[in-house]
Structure 1
Amino acid sequence: MFFYKKRNIHGLLLLDKPQGISSNNALQKVKIIFNAKKAGYVGTLDPLATGILPICFGECTKFSHYLTESNKRYHVIAKLGEKTSTSDSDGIIIKKRPILFTSYKLDLSIKELTGSIEQIPSMYSAIKYNGIPLYKYARQGFNVTRSTRKVIIYDIYSIHQEKNLIEFKILCSKGTYIRTLIDDLGEKLGCGAHVIFLRRLQVASYFCDQLVKISDLYKLLSMKNIHNINFFKNIDNLLMPIDSPVSFLPKVYLSPEKSYNFQLGQRVNFHSNIKNNLVRVIEKENDKFIGLGKISAEKILIPYRLVSRFTN
């Protein structure tokens, strides 16, 4: 199947990233299976991590930053008493300390890490310095000075500690490094800690019950070879619509004539109670999403981000 011309496909796949591979590796596997010309993932997950990795195809990539900016939810298990070079179990242990903290100290430390906090990203992160990811410097033994980042930890809950393991769930803002959070918690507790399990449970309004596994895609691929079914039709049915990343925005409908002008980048007259807010613009005749617009106080719909007119 891989000698076919690359396909122009559009939509969102909620991938359940497997453990042990990078986010980019997962993306490349999916691109090959879909034979897709253009695709990108939202929000890097470490090789250790599993869970929601949104993959945007084609025109959907124009709206992916709305997912990048969204809140995330994680399930994490950390091992206490050991600090590692990467702040997770993929690194080497660089310090061991006894676990001596009290339940009061744990509660206090959790509270100190909740709300608006500052983090220093790990050297083993995908943040770029002079165009090169930090982890590449780290692998060569270099340490780069990193600026602190403000993030918001909305909630740390379902906390359970047993012996040298601690488990909880986290709701946080974009840009939060869970490994850094766990490393900081370990330091506050005076014993060190690192991540041994991490699963992303939520991105924006998407939850784990909507996920597709790479193994599921390979099963469909093998069915194609054995039963000669319409493979691409089956996998394309797994995609969510182009406007999925902006599903929180209200819809407005245009006539075919106004839709045509809007897609040419022209402003169109539009009466609505919605003012100075982004909206999803739908061509009424075929219920097709054609882009984002903004309705001005003068009752004008202004093109903001358009879907290509040549999208099927």
Structure 2
Amino acid sequence: MGRRGRNRGRAVNGILLLDKPLGLSSNHALQRVKRLFDARKAGHTGSLDPLADGMLPICLGDATKLSAFLLDADKYYRFRVRLGETTATGDTEGDILQRRPVDGISAEQIREVLPKFLGEIEQLPPMYSALKHQGKRLYELARQGVEVEREPRKVTIHALELGEIDLPEFELSVHCSKGTYVRTLAEDIGEALGCGAHVTALRRIGVGPYTGYPMHTMEALEAAAEQGSEALDALLLPIDTALTDWPAVKVSADMAFYLKQGQPLLVPKAPTEGWVRVYQGDDFLAVGQVQDDGRIAPKRLMTGG
């Protein structure tokens, strides 16, 4: 009985770039997608706040073996900042804690402040975050009125571009490392301007290699589901698109046999270090890692089932 339960659903493999709507948690979005595809196995690549919309890659089948790599990937956001008000949550959900005048703050001052936040910076994780303290999520403690000490974390802001300005609000686009808190970034920019700030809108527009890719709304998925599984599957990206910036190596049928047994292989002309994608012909077989002796050890095998 237990085995039959585990195998329930279709053996569908691929990556769906979901345009997650506002107000829906990442887990609820994942479960809806999994049901629509009738997928045996599914996972997402790191939570996107219910108050944020945009790209949430959903991994189906073998793609779930690559979730961790997308979780560690850079992220891209577009967000709107309101100056002069700080809130308990750093966004519009929280109560306003303080109001300060914004008279005299200009677009030029904003442009002058932004370069200070480029490169490696330290951020203090907000209380309204999913980090855990003694087994409890920080946001759970925050809702109880409890504040705990947090350690600053290093993150990297690769790019920060100013968009539309309609003071006291303005728009920013950011390319950042994993673990960056956009709400904290907005708050820190507000403090640097001497007036405080919070986020009024937040949209994720890219994850890792997935920048400029089309996303699919829940409504589009539901419409495709009415046409059948083939229409849904046509929306999926191949699994190896998650690793397009990794070098690829090809192996023979004999080598593939041993690779599938979990044995490291010496592959001619392969990279001498790091991670690689392993193929037999056009078939994506595995994620491999180069060992000290130069052999490639399979770390994630693609089963196709």
TM-score in same-fold range (> 0.5): yes
Separation of aligned partners in 2, 1:273 and 1:140: 55
Asked whether 1:141 is paired with 2:138, we answer: no
What is the one-letter code of the residue matched to 1:186?
G
Segment of structure 1 superposing worse, 135-144 or 151-160: 151-160
Asked whether 1:15 is paired with 2:18, we answer: yes
Asked whether 1:239 is paired with 2:242, we answer: no
Deviation at 1:255? 2.0
Determine the structure 2 residue equivalent to 1:178: 182
Deviation at 1:196? 0.9
Deviations 1:281-308 (A, max 9, x none): 1122xx2211022456866433233223
Return closer, same or farther for 1:83/1:296 CA change in 2, 3 Å cut-off. closer
Determine the structure 2 residue equivalent to 1:264: 261
What is the one-letter code of the residue matched to 1:232?
S
Separation of aligned partners in 2, 1:294 and 1:144: 39
What is the one-letter code of the residue matched to 1:306?
L
Deviations 1:45-78 (A, max 9, x none): 1112111111112221221222222222211111
Determine the structure 2 residue equivalent to 1:100: 103
Return closer, same or farther for 1:77/1:139 CA change in 2, 3 Å cut-off. same
Secondary structure at 1:110's aligned position in 2?
helix
Deviation at 1:145? 1.3
Secondary structure at 2:151's aligned position in 1?
coil
Return closer, same or farther for 1:306/1:128 CA change in 2, 3 Å cut-off. same
Determine the structure 1 residue equivalent to 2:286: 291
Separation of aligned partners in 2, 1:62 and 1:273: 23
What is the one-letter code of the residue matched to 1:22?
S
Deviations 1:148-176 (A, max 9, x none): 11011122113443221111211111111
Asked whether 1:192 is paired with 2:196, we answer: yes
Deviation at 1:239? 1.4
Separation of aligned partners in 2, 1:119 and 1:294: 32
TM-score (norm: length of structure 1) = 0.88
Superposed CA RMSD in Å reads: 2.0
Determine the structure 2 residue equivalent to 1:6: 9
What is the one-letter code of the residue matched to 1:7?
R
Determine the structure 1 residue equivalent to 2:274: 277
Asked whether 1:254 is paired with 2:251, we answer: yes
Q: 1:109 aligns with which of 104, 110, 113?
A: 113
Asked whether 1:70 is paired with 2:65, we answer: no
4+ runs of 1 displaced by more than 4 Å?
295-299
Separation of aligned partners in 2, 1:217 and 1:95: 42
Unaligned 5+ runs, structure 2:
1-6
Separation of aligned partners in 2, 1:8 and 1:159: 43
TM-score (norm: length of structure 2) = 0.90
What is the one-letter code of the residue matched to 1:121?
P
Which aligned pairs between 1:52-91 and structure 2 lie closer than 5 A?
A: 52-91=55-94
Determine the structure 2 residue equivalent to 1:227: none
Segment of structure 1 superposing worse, 253-262 or 153-162: 153-162
What is the one-letter code of the residue matched to 1:202?
G
Separation of aligned partners in 1, 2:209 and 2:51: 24
Return closer, same or farther for 1:208/1:18 CA change in 2, 3 Å cut-off. farther
CA contact (8 A) 1:276 1:296 kept: yes
Separation of aligned partners in 1, 2:214 and 2:189: 32
Return closer, same or farther for 1:267/1:156 CA change in 2, 3 Å cut-off. closer
What is the one-letter code of the residue matched to 1:248?
D
Deviations 1:165-215 (A, max 9, x none): 111211111111000111111222222211111111121121254211111
Determine the structure 2 residue equivalent to 1:128: 132
Q: Percent identity?
A: 40
Number of equivalenced pairs: 298
Determine the structure 2 residue equivalent to 1:220: 224
Unaligned 5+ runs, structure 1:
225-230
